């Protein structure tokens, strides 16, 4: 990335959609513009956990306005992520297809712990680089993230199923606020935190920091009403609790510093933070200006600077499951060589596909840690269900598809579950990985000969030096067996 180049991050939250536009300068992020709209995506889930049409249209209208602002920023310099509501919605894929057309950029759905990691990254870059552990709390519309980290690295990440929109619907329907309902909400929040209480208290922290709109709103109310000089204290929240219960109705809340658009979710957000303070014995919390979208920007900047956390995640998974590194690297090198030969003819000139192929090659034998029988299926399960910092849900599924499809029958049903515009590219890199694993079936250190691979629409032609295949009949048998698997997905493998 060149100095001064623009980049952007969009957070499709359960309560609000946020966008920040920035420029890169000397390895740092300079924020240029920010837009925020209260879409309340989480409130649009029906009884079947599907987003209703009115909510979808409201979201699409918002994204249309965002799209105008980022129209001149290249695709690779924009990251768009969906969080809790899009993790839950049964029709999320259909909505994302519509949203991507409006926005002109890909949308990722990130897992809760990945969301937590990105939040911490955004917070850490807006605070002094002090030594010591931090506890970071972010209350969203549908989930609440709690992270312990030091400097720029998170060490413990958790995403809990409670948010100001979901708690509002559950405990304060129609905006009615009673003392009993508020205390029930606090207890429910404490119960959620209980699962991580012992581990987080054992690790400890020197500083508690809050992030995002809900906690910022609580802080603003505490300061503007003179209940705290800066940040949030337990005493200040007790005073806020009394005022909220006295109001009795969300639209009757009369608190200095509280915006009208925050009134419907203020009580639920306050109850969640109150419960966190009580359960984790927090006395005081500072508030950060950075959160998920700033974390996205710095994560994106790291990818441009060859500090991609996804590479570390792949290496960690290989180490954890004792992958035979020499074999993985042999297969990876050959897969990349085959890719380079056909990338243009097969329209695979795409960094994302190249990365997916490399990661799939490195992890293709990860399932051997469970069992040799059906190890490609075990491997796909591990990739799909492991916490892999840096990866979106879609990226993990793409790598898992390659691990599952590198041997035996090609997983056409899994491929059909991928986005329509990605299926052809994923199938083609899967076929390349299959060839690479066949060529290294012997697991030896002897180098392969000069191999030529040519591609047409649905045909691969693999050519060897004269006499080499006759000297390696098992390799020839492997490739001939592979021809039938290619035919099952309407491709042809020619061997010469």
pTM: 0.85
386 DSSP 8-state letter: S
CATH class label, 308-448: mainly alpha
Angle at 405 between CA 402 and CA 411, to 5 degrees: 115
- For residues 164 and 271, what is the distance between their CA atoms, to the nearest angstrom? 9
Per-residue pLDDT of 317-359, as tens digits, reads 999 999 999 999 999 999 999 999 999 999 998 889 999 999 9
Same fold, 6-111+295-300 and 127-288: yes
Burial of 404 (0-12, 13-18, 19+ CB in 10 A): buried
pLDDT band at 307 (very low <50, low <70, confident <90, very high): confident
Whether the CB-CB separation of 246 and 150 falls below 8 Å is answered with no
Q: What is the mean pLDDT of the chain?
A: 94
Q: In the predicted model, is pLDDT for residue 362 greater than 90?
A: yes
- For residues 485 and 465, what is the distance between their CA atoms, to the nearest angstrom? 24
Q: In the predicted model, is pLDDT for residue 277 greater than 90?
A: yes
- For residues 212 and 214, what is the distance between their CA atoms, to the nearest angstrom? 6
pLDDT band at 126 (very low <50, low <70, confident <90, very high): confident
Per-residue pLDDT of 46-56, as tens digits, reads 999 999 999 99
Residue 275: closest CA among 191, 202, 177, 171: 191
Per-residue pLDDT of 239-263, as tens digits, reads 999 999 999 999 999 999 999 999 9
Per-residue pLDDT of 382-401, as tens digits, reads 999 999 999 999 999 999 99
**Quick one: fold of 6-111+295-300?**
Nucleotidyltransferase; domain 5 (3.30.420)
- For residues 101 and 235, what is the distance between their CA atoms, to the nearest angstrom? 48
Residue with tokens 């050959």: 334
Indicate the domain borders of the chain: 6-111+295-300, 127-288, 308-448
CATH class label, 127-288: alpha beta
- Give me the pLDDT at residue 308, please: 85
Q: How far apart, in Å, do the first and last CA atoms of the chain sit?
A: 43
- Give me the pLDDT at residue 313, please: 94
- Give me the pLDDT at residue 75, please: 85
Per-residue pLDDT of 58-87, as tens digits, reads 999 999 999 999 999 988 899 999 999 999
Whether the CB-CB separation of 116 and 158 falls below 8 Å is answered with yes
Q: Residues near 445 by Cβ (< 8 Å), separated by ≥ 6?
A: 326
In this prediction, residues 442-448 reach a mean pLDDT of 90
In this prediction, residues 83-101 reach a mean pLDDT of 95
């Amino acid at each position: 990335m060149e100095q001064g180049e623009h980049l952007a991050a969009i957070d499709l939250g359960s309560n609000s959609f946020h966008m920040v536009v920035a420029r890169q300068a000397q390895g740092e992020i300079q924020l240029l513009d920010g837009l925020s709209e209260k879409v309340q995506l989480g409130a649009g889930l029906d009884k079947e956990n599907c987003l209703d049409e009115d909510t979808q249209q409201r979201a699409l209208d918002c994204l249309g306005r965002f799209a105008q602002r980022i129209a001149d920023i290249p695709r690779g310099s924009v990251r768009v992520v969906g969080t809790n509501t899009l993790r839950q919605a049964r029709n999320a894929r259909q909505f994302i297809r519509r949203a991507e057309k409006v926005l002109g950029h890909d949308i990722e759905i990130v897992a809760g712990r990945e969301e937590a990691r990105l939040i911490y990254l955004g917070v850490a870059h807006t605070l002094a680089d002090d030594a010591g552990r931090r506890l970071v709390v972010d209350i969203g519309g549908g989930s609440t993230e709690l992270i312990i980290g030091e400097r720029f690295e998170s060490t413990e990440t958790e995403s809990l199923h409670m948010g100001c929109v979901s708690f509002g619907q559950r405990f304060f329907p129609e905006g009615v606020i009673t003392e009993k309902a508020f205390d029930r909400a606090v207890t429910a929040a404490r119960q959620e935190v209980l699962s991580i209480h012992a581990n987080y208290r054992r690790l400890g922290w020197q500083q508690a920091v809050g992030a995002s709109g809900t906690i910022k709103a609580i802080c603003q109310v505490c300061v503007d009403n003179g209940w705290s000089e800066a940040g949030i204290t337990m005493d200040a929240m007790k005073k806020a609790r009394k005022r909220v219960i006295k109001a009795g109705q969300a639209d009757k809340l009369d608190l200095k510093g509280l915006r009208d658009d925050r009134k419907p979710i203020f009580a639920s957000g306050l109850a969640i933070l109150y419960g966190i303070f009580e359960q984790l014995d927090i006395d005081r919390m500072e508030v950060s200006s950075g959160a998920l979208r700033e974390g996205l920007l710095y994560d994106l900047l790291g990818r441009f600077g060859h500090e991609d956390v996804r590479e570390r995640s792949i290496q960690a998974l290989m180490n954890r499951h004792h992958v035979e590194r020499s074999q993985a690297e042999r297969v990876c090198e050959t897969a990349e060589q085959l890719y380079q030969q056909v990338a243009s003819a097969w329209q695979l000139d795409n960094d994302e596909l190249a990365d997916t192929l490399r990661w799939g090659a490195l992890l293709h034998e990860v399932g051997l840690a469970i069992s040799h029988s059906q190890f490609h299926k075990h491997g796909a399960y591990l990739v799909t269900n492991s916490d892999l910092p840096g990866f979106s849900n879609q990226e993990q599924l793409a790598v898992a598809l390659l691990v599952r499809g590198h041997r035996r029958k090609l997983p056409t049903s899994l491929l059909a579950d991928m986005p329509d515009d990605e299926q052809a590219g994923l199938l083609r890199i899967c076929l390349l990985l299959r060839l690479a694993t066949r060529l290294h079936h012997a697991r030896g250190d002897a180098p392969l000969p000069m191999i030529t691979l040519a591609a047409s629409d649905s045909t691969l032609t693999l050519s060897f030096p004269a006499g080499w295949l006759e000297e390696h009949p098992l390799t020839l048998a492997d490739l001939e067996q592979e021809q039938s698997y290619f035919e099952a997905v309407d491709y042809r493998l020619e061997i010469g």
